[in-house]
């Protein structure tokens, strides 16, 4: 049973990676899984503040140190609302970097970045 669960998770991740590459191709393929350094744009926020924004009508997510307000964007997200809500009020960097290419936020939804995490 555990092998089946692992296989399903592996295939899900591979499928999501394929979708991410198709929608937002990475100009630097070797960088896709690495943590991405991003500029500190907007206001500083503490992680405890981000955690309070965990509802569909008020949804913040941290991606590589950037605080993103995805409340309005989630209905436009190609992967649907569910993946965003799964990480609402949390740091989604690991999952994000395994699926999306470097610079996707800046290319697709720069308006979602409202700040950065302090510390």
Summarize pLDDT for 70-115 with one digit per residue, the tens. 999 999 988 899 999 999 999 999 999 888 888 888 888 999 999 9
pLDDT tops 60 at residue 49: yes
According to the CATH classification, is domain 2-117 in 3.10.120.10? yes
| pTM attached to this predicted model | 0.70
Contact 40, 116 (CB under 8 A): yes
Contact 50, 63 (CB under 8 A): no
Model pLDDT for residues 2-37, shown as the tens digit of each residue? 666 556 665 676 666 666 666 655 545 444 444 567
Strand intervals (E) in the chain: 43-45, 54-55, 58-63, 66-69, 113-117
Q: Where are the domains of the chain?
A: 2-117
Q: Look at residue 35 in the predicted model and tell me its pLDDT.
A: 56
d(CA 73, CA 87) in angstroms, rounded, equals 14
d(CA 89, CA 57) in angstroms, rounded, equals 12
Q: Look at residue 31 in the predicted model and tell me its pLDDT.
A: 45
């Amino acid at each position: 049973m555990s092998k089946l669960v692992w296989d399903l998770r592996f295939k899900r991740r591979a499928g999501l990676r394929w979708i991410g590459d198709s929608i937002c191709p990475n100009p630097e393929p070797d960088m896709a899984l690495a943590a991405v350094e991003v500029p500190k744009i907007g206001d500083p926020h503490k992680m405890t503040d981000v955690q309070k924004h965990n509802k569909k009508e008020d949804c913040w997510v941290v991606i590589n140190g950037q605080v993103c307000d995805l409340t309005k964007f989630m209905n436009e997200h190609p992967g649907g609302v569910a993946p965003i809500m799964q990480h609402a009020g949390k740091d989604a960097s690991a999952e994000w970097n395994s699926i999306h290419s470097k610079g996707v936020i800046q290319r697709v939804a720069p308006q979602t970045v409202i700040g950065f995490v302090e510390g």
